[in-house]
Amino acid sequence: MATRHFLLLAGALAMIPAALQAQSIDPKVQARIDRILERTPLIDGHNDLAEQLRENYNMNVDGLASGTDRRKPPLMTDMARLHQGHVGGQFWSVYIPSEVTGDAAIRATLEEIDTVKRLVKAYPNDLELARTADDVVRIHKAGKIASLIGVEGGHQIGGSLAALRAYYDLGARYMTLSHFKDNEFADSATDDPKWHGLNDFGRTVVHEMNRLGMLVDLAHVSPETMSDTLDVTKAPVIFSHSDARALADHPRNVPDAILKRLPANGGVVMVNFYLGHLSEPYRQWDADHSAEQARLDTLYTGQPEIRKAKLAEWEQAHPAPMAGVGLIADHIEHIVRIAGHDHVGLGGDLDGIPYDAAPPGMNSVSGYPLLFAELIRRGWSDEDLAKLAGGNVLRVMRQAEAVAASMKDGAPATARLQPIDPANPWK
């Protein structure tokens, strides 16, 4: 999601009922979770640590070994907590803002890919770069976290299919077709329609991703883009960090009409932990909070201390509505009801959401067992928990790899957004 407001909302955590703060898991339940996640790697679809390191820590990958990080804003990810959470595979998001386009976008994306690779190299006892499903399984069996790369926006290729192929060669294994804004070929969920889905170049991008074996990620895209992509892709899609729109009417979430198409495609919705996508009351509160900020900005221009104090007063009077881990389970179970157990996974969006805007315990990579304990309480089988953890994503990866193998004799696409001008071929 790559949300940047990480300051704790005044009083919000203090308002959480004691029942929601309980984090203990029955030892027998914990032993069952341990067995499941020793056999099947837990693969999370989206973590924004690389973005946080770029924006707040000058791309410095040091100091992430222990679980006692004292940075401000606090990070949700480090090596100790990854192991505590039984994470077996992590897609590290490579994100740049939608406003950065063209050659600048390509340069910034390369810098973030480099950050992920330096992160993996800095912690060789914990992380190892993975390029295939078999790599993920092998690395997990060795007790490490298989590290994969996901490019979080089609604008990041700068309109160049050569850049797309270069990212794949560097290890990127998915690309989100759009981000907060429409781009040159695909509409975003959070922008007014430009193409009403994919344009011709967008369909070429999907075809080229299929040919490479790069997963097509439909998080952040509009329902029309989702539908157009399902019409043309030869491989299963993923939603790397999305929730069910039937439960929270955020435009980033997946409508039931799309969920109903997933069994035919084979794709997976990887559920996001952000309350703004999970909870309709929180979504409404967030809109009111933003409106109050805008009002204070107008009333107290040039008076930042007064604005800060007034906003704190508003937050004290209007605490954020909170929810427990059961809300994440509700979204998972809704997706299962519509699409089935074969089409759901996990994509927490950690280090891409505000620290206090996830259910208690789920704002850290150590929190996944809490969700599994809740689903066990609801009667889930070991087989279905294994599918949720990573079995479904491994299947999707293998299917995408098989599609790429079937297309290996196809020529790389050379389409351009604009034809080459013979008078200026470098433009």
Catalytic residue among 241, 277, 331, 343: 241
Is-catalytic flag, 318?
A: no
Catalytic residue among 44, 46, 112, 250: 46
Is-catalytic flag, 196?
A: no
Catalytic residue among 126, 208, 349, 351: 349
Catalytic residue among 86, 140, 155, 179: 179
For all residues of the chain together, what is the average pLDDT?
A: 92
pLDDT of residue 29: 97
Q: Within 10 A of 189 (CB to CB), how many other CB atoms are there?
A: 24
Catalytic residue among 78, 112, 128, 152: 152
Percent of the chain with pLDDT over 70: 92
Cis peptide before 73 (omega within 30 of 0): yes
Is-catalytic flag, 46?
A: yes
Residue 5 binned pLDDT confidence (cut-offs 50, 70, 90) = very low
Is-catalytic flag, 208?
A: no
pLDDT of residue 22: 47
Is-catalytic flag, 349?
A: yes
Chain-centre distance of CA 397, in angstroms?
A: 16
Helix (H) or strand (E) holding 372, with range, is helix 368-377
pLDDT of residue 412: 96
Is-catalytic flag, 48?
A: yes
- Gap between the Cα atoms of 403 and 50, Å rounded: 30
Q: What is the pTM of this model?
A: 0.92
pLDDT of residue 392: 98
Query: Average pLDDT, stretch 194-202?
Result: 97
Contacts made by residues 181-185, CB under 8 angstroms, sequence distance 24+: 181/98, 181/99, 181/155, 183/98, 183/101, 183/153, 183/154, 183/155, 184/154, 184/155, 184/159, 184/417, 185/154, 185/417
Alpha helix locations (H) across 3-143? 18-21, 27-39, 49-56, 79-84, 102-122, 133-141
Question: For residue 3, is pLDDT > 60?
Answer: no
Residue 424 binned pLDDT confidence (cut-offs 50, 70, 90) = confident
- Gap between the Cα atoms of 69 and 51, Å rounded: 17
Chain-centre distance of CA 398, in angstroms?
A: 20
Kindly calculate the radius of gyration of the chain based on its CA atoms and give it in whole angstroms: 21
User: What is the tens place of the pLDDT at every residue in 404-416?
Assistant: 999 999 999 999 8
Question: For residue 375, is pLDDT > 90?
Answer: yes
User: What is the tens place of the pLDDT at every residue in 277-336?
Assistant: 999 999 999 999 999 999 999 999 999 999 999 999 999 999 999 899 999 999 999 999
So what CATH class is 27-279+323-406? alpha beta
- For residues 253 and 1, the model is more confident at 253
Is-catalytic flag, 220?
A: yes
Where in the sequence of the chain do the CATH 3.20.20.140 domains occur? Answer: 27-279+323-406
User: What is the tens place of the pLDDT at every residue in 9-46?
Assistant: 333 333 344 334 446 899 999 999 999 999 999 999 99
Question: For residue 106, is pLDDT > 80?
Answer: yes
Q: Apex CA 30: angle with CA 28 and CA 33, to 5°?
A: 115
